[in-house]
C-alpha cells in the first residue's frame, strides 16, 4: 500500500480549498512529478499508483483543481518565470487548447502518438485521453418498452409526458452543459424547438450532472438530457433503476485533455506520465477502473471509445482537439447562445 497524505491547501502554495495529495515514491525517492488535474484525487489514485509501479523513484504531488484554476495557475506561474506543473489533465477542453495555442504547452514525443486518432491530438502538444458522450439518462421503471432513441422520439414522448419530469443542465452554471448545447446547435439547428417542447413539459435545469442523475435514479425526474455519460455509467452500477442511452441521430462526445506545460520543472516526468496514460495499460485503467471511456483503439471493452464507434459509427460526433474549440470562449458567441437558450425555455 503506497503512502499517501491529503493536505488542504491552507498553508500550502496554491488556491485556497484545493485538495493536494502527496503520493510518496515506493522506492528511494529521487524525482518528483507535479500534476494539476480536474479529476477527483480518489479516482486518480489507481492511475498514479500504476505509474509508480513502473517508476518507483518518482514521488507525485497531485493537485485537484477546477479547469479555470488550472489554466490561470499555469499562465500566472509561466509568466512570472517560475516553474509550474509537469502535467496538466483537465475536462475543460477549451481552456486546455487555449494554453496549447498560446504557447503554454510544449511539444512532446511519446510512443504511439503517431497512431492516436487525428481528431484527438493537436501539434504534439494536446492529447485527448477520454471519450465521454452526452447521453440521455432515464428512470427504467417508467419505460418498460425502452426509452427514446433519438431527439424525434424524445419530442414524441414529451407530448404526453408528466409535468416537470425532464431535466438538463443550466448552461449558465455548467461548463459541460454549455459545451454540449453549443455542439447541439451546430449539429441540429432545430434544437431550440426541442428545448421549447421540454419547457412546455416543465423542464427543470440544474448546475451539475449529479443533481440530475440523483433525481432520475429515484424517479423525481424520468429523463435527463445531454448528461455526461462517464458519470452516468459510474452511477448506473450503484443505481439499478438508472438507465442511459446514446441517441442514435447523433451523440456529442467530449474529452479530458492532457498536456505538458512549457514551464514544467521536470517535463521528462510529465511526458512519462502522458505516455503511461496513452499506453494500453493506462487507457484500460481509465476505461475499466475509472469508468472514463478510452480513446485508444487498442482498448475494446464495453466502456471504450472503440466499442461506441463500432456500435454507432458516424453518429458519434467527438469535439476535435484543435483551436476550433476556442470559439466557445468567445463572449459574444456565449451571450448569443445563452440568449437563445433563455428564449427557448422561457426564462426571462
Of 242, 258, 249, which Cα lies nearest the Cα of 292?
258
Contact 67, 15 (CB under 8 A): no
Which carries the bigger pLDDT value, residue 1 or residue 310?
Answer: 310
Contact 208, 174 (CB under 8 A): yes
pLDDT digits 0-9 by tens, 121-166: 999 999 999 999 999 999 999 999 999 999 999 999 999 999 999 9
Residue 16, pLDDT above cutoff 60: no
Query: Residues 249-281: pLDDT tens digits?
Result: 999 999 999 999 999 999 999 999 999 999 999
**pLDDT score at 110:** 93
Taking alpha carbons only, the member of 7, 14, 19, 9 closest to residue 73 is 14
- Quote the pLDDT of residue 9: 35
Taking the C-alpha atoms of residue 129 and residue 116, their distance in angstroms, rounded to an integer, is 10
| Residue among 282, 214, 293 at smallest CA distance from 251 | 293
The gap between the terminal CA atoms of the chain, to the nearest Å, is 55
Over residues 297-336, the pLDDT tens digits come to 777 777 778 888 888 888 999 999 999 999 988 999 999 9
- Three cell numbers written together for 221: 425526474
Give the pLDDT of residue 144. Answer: 96
Least confident of 7-11, 175-179, 180-184, 293-297: 7-11
CA distance 290 to 49: 13
pLDDT for the residue 13: 38
Output the pLDDT for position 176: 86
Residue 6's pLDDT band, with cuts at 50, 70 and 90, is very low
Cα–Cα distance measured from residue 274 to residue 153, given in angstroms and rounded to the nearest whole number: 41
Q: How confident is the model at residue 11 (pLDDT cuts 50, 70, 90)?
A: very low
Q: What is the mean pLDDT of the chain?
A: 90
Does this model's pTM top 0.75?
yes
Give the total residue count for the chain.
348
Q: What is the mean pLDDT of residues 54-75?
A: 93
Task: List 136's β-bridge partners, or say none.
Answer: 245
Task: Using the predicted structure, report yes or no on whether residue 68 has a pLDDT greater than 90.
Answer: no
Alpha helices, DSSP H, located in the chain: 41-54, 67-79, 93-101, 151-158, 175-187, 191-200, 209-217, 229-236, 267-278, 280-284, 305-312, 331-345
Amino acid at each position: 500500500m503506497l503512502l499517501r497524505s491529503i493536505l488542504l491547501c491552507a498553508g500550502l502554495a496554491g488556491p485556497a480549498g484545493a485538495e493536494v495529495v502527496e503520493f510518496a515514491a515506493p522506492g528511494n525517492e529521487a524525482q518528483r512529478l507535479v500534476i494539476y488535474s480536474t479529476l477527483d484525487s480518489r479516482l486518480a489514485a489507481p492511475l498514479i499508483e500504476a505509474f509508480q509501479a513502473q517508476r518507483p523513484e518518482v514521488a507525485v504531488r497531485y493537485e485537484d483543481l477546477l479547469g479555470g484554476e488550472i489554466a490561470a495557475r499555469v499562465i500566472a506561474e509561466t509568466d512570472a518565470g517560475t516553474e509550474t506543473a509537469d502535467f496538466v489533465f483537465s475536462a475543460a477542453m477549451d481552456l486546455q487548447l487555449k494554453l496549447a495555442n498560446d504557447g503554454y504547452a510544449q511539444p512532446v514525443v511519446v510512443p504511439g502518438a503517431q497512431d492516436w486518432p487525428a481528431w484527438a491530438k493537436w501539434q504534439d502538444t494536446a492529447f485527448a485521453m477520454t471519450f465521454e458522450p452526452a447521453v440521455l439518462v432515464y428512470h427504467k421503471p417508467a419505460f418498460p418498452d425502452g426509452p427514446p432513441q433519438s431527439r424525434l422520439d424524445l419530442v414524441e414522448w414529451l407530448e404526453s409526458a408528466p409535468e416537470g419530469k425532464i431535466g438538463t443542465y443550466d448552461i449558465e452554471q455548467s461548463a459541460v452543459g454549455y459545451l454540449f448545447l453549443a455542439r447541439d446547435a451546430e449539429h441540429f439547428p432545430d434544437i431550440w424547438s426541442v428545448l421549447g417542447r421540454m419547457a412546455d413539459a416543465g423542464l427543470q435545469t440544474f448546475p451539475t450532472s449529479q443533481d440530475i442523475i440523483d433525481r432520475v435514479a429515484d424517479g423525481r425526474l424520468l429523463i435527463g438530457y445531454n448528461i455526461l455519460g462517464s458519470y452516468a455509467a459510474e452511477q448506473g452500477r450503484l443505481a439499478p433503476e438508472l438507465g442511459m442511452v446514446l441517441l442514435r441521430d447523433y451523440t456529442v462526445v467530449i474529452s479530458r485533455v492532457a498536456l505538458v506545460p512549457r514551464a514544467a520543472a521536470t517535463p521528462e516526468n510529465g511526458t512519462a506520465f502522458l505516455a503511461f496514460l496513452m499506453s494500453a495499460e493506462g487507457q484500460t485503467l481509465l476505461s475499466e477502473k475509472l469508468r472514463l471511456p478510452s480513446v485508444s483503439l487498442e482498448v475494446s471493452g464495453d466502456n471504450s471509445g472503440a466499442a461506441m464507434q463500432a456500435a454507432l459509427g458516424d453518429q458519434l460526433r467527438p469535439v476535435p482537439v484543435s483551436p476550433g474549440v476556442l470559439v466557445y470562449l468567445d463572449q459574444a458567441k456565449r451571450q448569443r447562445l445563452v440568449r437563445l437558450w433563455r428564449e427557448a425555455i422561457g426564462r426571462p
